[in-house]
Structure 1
Amino acid sequence: MQHQNDYDPPLSGVRVLDLTTGPMTAVGRLLADLGAHISPVALQGVNASDDPVPLDTAINRHGMSTVTAHDPGHWAGMLAGADILIEETAPDSAAEAALDVRGIRTANPALVILSVSDFGRDTRFRNWQATTPVLHALTSQLSRSGIPGREPLVPPGRNLPYQVAAAQAAVFAVSVLLDRLRTGEGDLIDFSVLEGAMQTLDPPYGTAGTASAGVALSAQKRNWAAEQLRYPIIACRDGHVRICLLSKRQWQGMFEWLGRPAEFADPKYDSLRERLTSVELLGAIGRFCADKTRAELEEQGQRHRVPTAAVLSLAEALRSEHVTERGLFRNVELRDVELRDVELRDAELGTGATVPVPVGVVEIDGHRASTLTCPATPAARPVRASILGARTRRDEGLPLEGLRVLDLGVIVVGSDTGRLFGDLGADVVKIENSAFPDGLRGNLASISHTYAAGHRNKRSIGIDLRIAEGQALAHRLVESADVVLTNFKPGVAAALGMDHATLRRINPGIVVVDSSAFGPTGPWADRLGYGPLVRAAAGFTDRWAYPVSRDAFCDAVTVYPDHVAARIGALAALALLLRRERTGTGGAASVAQSEVMISHLAAEIAADVLDLPEHRHEHPWGLFPAKGDDAWVAVTVRDDADDRALRTVIGDRPLAQWTADHSAGGAMDLLQSAGVPAGAVLHAADVPHWAYYIERRAFREELHPHGREPYILENVQIRSERIADPPLGQAPLLGEQTRELAAELLGLGAAEIDELVAAGVLETVAQVAAQPR
């Protein structure tokens, strides 16, 4: 880590006015940790309140001082001096009318306004109400969580959908701000928490992990037996471990570890599908692990190159040597705030409570980015973007036009980070090679649904980075690039000559983002880190279980935290690009996926430290059966007003009896029409056809020339006055644009390209197609 005085926060000088008061204060927290000056504002008639502050809000606001706008002139002056305004007034409410966002937009055309609401503002659903269970239901996440025959299981984290949506909102705001600095034009972003959660937590039509065995996430349902085979959790002497056997090499390591048993010597077990469907193999592994401790299995697994992680409780994860050494948490006294847990009614705490809070989830230039580590003197407010302003724009209404990104990312985090840049207008060049293909590709001669979702709007160049000639060509690409994205194990990028220390000597303005399971330092840095292993080691898997079935872990069919970690990486890159406009130099960002996940449990960690009592529900809450097979509806009754509204719909009947007589969608519509938060538990196949997502143009269907069938893909990213829908560039085959890019970006002639292809330095789609399968 560098000394604090060497650290230049990338968003230093950016001024943000924040009118949020609930879980979406997480947007301001992300921006503040990257150096922005956040001013929470109390505005009479809009958000001013004497109510106690929920614990999660207090954590998000630590280190910030609330400003009261005393009169219209004072408020107008604050707006004139701001770069971003974040607001969350309820649509069609008196507060929305009092704030008058449209009037603010007219009076301050350079201001970036992030207007947050549960269901968006340009839809007939704008007055619907959301809560965590409702959001989980309507994103389809709940349809993949839990044991068949039982109610779906709400994942850990009281505000998890809001926290992941906040990362997406922050990406949108900073991308538009970066564009504002070269165009002078602000924007009004209509941000829906539901859309943000759907795209960022566990998207049904996004990229899926390699253990999906060819089954698209949109086709996966709760299947307890399949889940146990997919990412098996094995009981051992002192708890449980999770083991991943995704590659042939990993299986061969497991085979050696087991002692080369004859019953599994058949080459058929080299097949991922065979391993994922073998009950006999799972049983043998279970018997092998039964008399060993978690620590022994972790050590032996790593030695045999078999990804293995202990299933830790959250407390164990926080006490681990790795988390301690990484310094993720610091004790902070939350001053001048009356704390009350968001779900508690009588357990109020006094001022000055000391709790552990995350010290940022991104490292910038080797320094943990946080308000707790920012230099006291901020930079000057950014005025213009001279570097990007000199770039040629296509004028297609996309904020990142003119940027070039070199994408070395793989699997879900890698694919999504680059895809975000491509969807927002950047020229994204995927550098890859068939010797180590992206695990999402599968068959190199075709395009799967998940690959189409994660790699659209990219071009592919085949380069062998293992040899000096290949690295030299990649370095020539870096000369004209702005961002390089990687998500290898620590040390791999350096071995390939694509780490920041190497690339900044070639291009001082380059921004390099690396994302890994556990971060670039610490005892776990070199672990093979798939999402399920990260969840196990970070204490999330242990909490993703029914209260009465603590060893029935239900987190197998999810790709969390991959998609949200990708947003954090993209946000860090955009922030560094903004700093580059001020300093002329680039920078490095590192994201530890485990820390992103643990940060989402900050309120629960603080509540445990404060010994807050368990929540006692005074009103109906939960998941209730509806008419039909595996049909459920999530209902949250937050207070007495909701309870009265509920009774106007269901009368004096028990809620479970009433929902059982209605379809999930019908029950949802009736309850929401009365103002009660409710959401049908949508299956993935239902999502694109629900009227809300249709109104919001959330999906589109594409027929890829190398695909097996039409694909449903996400569509709109930023919904605003100025930003267009994503381009229609389809995911490339490996090396599909090698010749085009070698000529365009490297200036090579046809004969030179032919020589490099013949030598194996460059690789074209024709070569890949000719390889034996």
Structure 2
Amino acid sequence: MAENRHGALVGLRMIEMGQLIAGPFCGQLMADHGAEVIKIELPGQGDPMRQWGQGKPVWFPVVGRNKKCITLNLRSAKGQDIVRRLLKNADFLLENFRPGTLEKWNLSYEELRAINKGLIMVRVSGFGQTGPYAGRAGYGSIGEAMGGMRYLAGDPSTPPSRIGLSIGDSLAATFACLGALMALHRRHVTAEGQVVDAAIYESVLAVMESTVPEYTEAGLIRERTGSILPKIAPSNVYPCTDGEILIGANQDSVWSRLADTMGRPELAVDPRYADHAARGEHQEELDALISEWTRGFKTADLLVLLDAGGVPAGKIYRADDMLADPQFTAREALVKVAHPEFSNLVMQSVFPKLSETPGEIAWPGPMIGAHNEEIYGGLLGMSNTEMEALREEGVI
């Protein structure tokens, strides 16, 4: 297993507790860029993500990549003592338990700060560490609903939809990572850590654009609009002979180029479509007009034509489309990763790309407890006898 890590965060250590996505995706982002992330899992059980994945359980190789996995029973007094030893020389503690859990285990920030004043505690939860809902169980789906995203997802003719991904969890983890790096910068000034409190519903709310001020200022509540943005035209999914294509040509100059590409330059100066406001008012008929044109093309041929005309467009990709696309290949957006069980494991690469300190996928999510010997015997200096006794007691 690779040890000579690369990336902007080499030299930083994070202890990751918790499971599923909302916390561990933050750990993945840190580990992707070189941080040493030591993931703690309950002996004999591990993260449920180890069993997740449609078709085959291939989710943990992604979310657990670049991490060092150890087993430790945090509910035991000895387990709590061991984690304190780990945190003495850690930069971050990442957890996504229900608020109050760490305090119950005598691992509150106040207690941990006493042994490491520079420790940054990154806490991810459904509703945050304070407020009347703090103690509630909170999943990403609930955060998406309360943050306003679910109401806007889907077609107006159907109930609110899931977008097909655990986006609430991933947003919360991303904001947690952002907060961790903000706190790290502040520590450079003060030498002191702090708590990063990332709530799922607030992380969703953060990307909800102007939906709230639209209501407070104009009394408007946004509704589900399916594949369009109301009054923003043309920007929609259009039919081809062998599929669909997304075209975004709502800016005046781009619309003019689309009209030229269609062989209908007169449309660009037609009073019904000549400017942004007019196109918005005639959005439905404009989409119908464009659809009539696109129906005569195969998606590949139309993409070439639109690209030549300087019109933003793209096929709606699935995994097989991504694997065949030369842009993905040129930038190594997808990479094949060696795995002892899965022979053709391809996953998304490390993003964003840094010019001088690029991250890497050094290894996929490892087996449960794969790094017990390295961390307990090496980092903490435990003897084989001591480790064996802890195993027998169910501590590690």
TM range (shorter): 0.7 to 0.9
Secondary structure in structure 1 of the residue aligned to 2:356: coil
Secondary structure in structure 2 of the residue aligned to 1:642: helix
Secondary structure in structure 1 of the residue aligned to 2:159: strand
Deviation at 1:672, TM superposition (A): 2.9
Secondary structure in structure 1 of the residue aligned to 2:123: strand
> How do 1:381-392 and structure 2 match up within 5 A?
none
**Percentage of identical aligned residues:** 28
- CA spacing shift, 1:397–1:474, aligned 2, 3 Å: closer
Deviation at 1:741, TM superposition (A): 1.0
1:424 aligns with 2:30: no
2:165 to 529, 540, 558: 558
- Distance in 1 (CA, whole Å) between partners of 2:234 and 2:395 is 64
Q: Per-residue displacement from partner, 1:581-639 (whole Å, max 9, x unpaired)?
A: 211111111001101111222412222333288986484331111222xx221112223
1:466 aligns with 2:49: no
CA contact (8 A) 1:425 1:727 kept: no
Deviation at 1:728, TM superposition (A): 1.6
Deviation at 1:740, TM superposition (A): 1.8
2:90 to 465, 474, 481: 481
Secondary structure in structure 2 of the residue aligned to 1:555: coil
Q: Which amino acid letter does the alignment assign opposite residue 132 of structure 2?
A: P
- Distance in 1 (CA, whole Å) between partners of 2:233 and 2:365 is 49
> How do 1:561-710 and structure 2 match up within 5 A?
561-611=168-218, 617=231, 619-628=233-242, 631-652=243-264, 654-705=289-340, 707-710=341-344
Partner residue in 1 for 2:284: none
- CA spacing shift, 1:605–1:618, aligned 2, 3 Å: closer
Deviation at 1:721, TM superposition (A): 2.6
Q: Which amino acid letter does the alignment assign opposite residue 239 of structure 2?
A: P
Deviation at 1:436, TM superposition (A): 5.4
Q: Which amino acid letter does the alignment assign opposite residue 626 of structure 1?
A: C
- Distance in 1 (CA, whole Å) between partners of 2:233 and 2:171 is 32
Name the Cα RMSD after superposition. Answer: 2.3
Q: Which amino acid letter does the alignment assign opposite residue 492 of structure 1?
A: T
Q: Per-residue displacement from partner, 1:405-430 (whole Å, max 9, x unpaired)?
A: 10113111222111111111111101
- CA spacing shift, 1:502–1:435, aligned 2, 3 Å: farther
- Distance in 1 (CA, whole Å) between partners of 2:161 and 2:232 is 27
Partner residue in 2 for 1:714: 348
Partner residue in 2 for 1:306: none
Q: Per-residue displacement from partner, 1:420-452 (whole Å, max 9, x unpaired)?
A: 111111111011113653221128xxx931100
Secondary structure in structure 1 of the residue aligned to 2:167: coil
1:544 aligns with 2:153: yes
Q: Per-residue displacement from partner, 1:469-521 (whole Å, max 9, x unpaired)?
A: 11001110011111010011111122233332221112111110001111112
- Distance in 1 (CA, whole Å) between partners of 2:234 and 2:219 is 22
1:730 aligns with 2:364: yes
- Distance in 2 (CA, whole Å) between partners of 1:466 and 1:726 is 34
Deviation at 1:578, TM superposition (A): 1.5
Secondary structure in structure 1 of the residue aligned to 2:241: coil
Secondary structure in structure 2 of the residue aligned to 1:546: coil
Secondary structure in structure 1 of the residue aligned to 2:22: helix
- Distance in 2 (CA, whole Å) between partners of 1:667 and 1:554 is 30
- Distance in 2 (CA, whole Å) between partners of 1:619 and 1:479 is 57
Q: Per-residue displacement from partner, 1:273-322 (whole Å, max 9, x unpaired)?
A: xxxxxxxxxxxxxxxxxxxxxxxxxxxxxxxxxxxxxxxxxxxxxxxxxx
Q: Which amino acid letter does the alignment assign opposite residue 480 of structure 1?
A: N
- CA spacing shift, 1:674–1:556, aligned 2, 3 Å: closer
CA contact (8 A) 1:650 1:658 kept: yes
> How do 1:260-659 and structure 2 match up within 5 A?
397-434=6-43, 437-442=46-51, 448-547=57-156, 549=157, 551-555=158-162, 557-611=164-218, 617=231, 619-628=233-242, 631-652=243-264, 654-659=289-294
- CA spacing shift, 1:438–1:397, aligned 2, 3 Å: closer
- 5+ unaligned residues in a row in structure 2: which ranges? 223-228, 265-287
CA contact (8 A) 2:349 2:361 kept: no
Instruction: State TM-score, norm by structure 1.
Output: 0.45
- Distance in 2 (CA, whole Å) between partners of 1:580 and 1:529 is 30
> How do 1:132-281 and structure 2 match up within 5 A?
none
Q: Per-residue displacement from partner, 1:707-749 (whole Å, max 9, x unpaired)?
A: 3442111223232331234142221111111122101111111
- Distance in 2 (CA, whole Å) between partners of 1:671 and 1:490 is 52
CA contact (8 A) 1:396 1:724 kept: no
Q: Which amino acid letter does the alignment assign opposite residue 456 of structure 1?
A: R
Partner residue in 1 for 2:393: 759
- Distance in 2 (CA, whole Å) between partners of 1:519 and 1:703 is 38
> How do 1:58-73 and structure 2 match up within 5 A?
none
- CA spacing shift, 1:540–1:491, aligned 2, 3 Å: same
Deviation at 1:576, TM superposition (A): 1.2
CA contact (8 A) 1:532 1:556 kept: no
Q: Per-residue displacement from partner, 1:57-99 (whole Å, max 9, x unpaired)?
A: xxxxxxxxxxxxxxxxxxxxxxxxxxxxxxxxxxxxxxxxxxx
Partner residue in 2 for 1:116: none
Partner residue in 1 for 2:275: none
CA contact (8 A) 2:338 2:364 kept: no
Instruction: State TM-score, norm by structure 2.
Output: 0.85
Partner residue in 1 for 2:376: 742
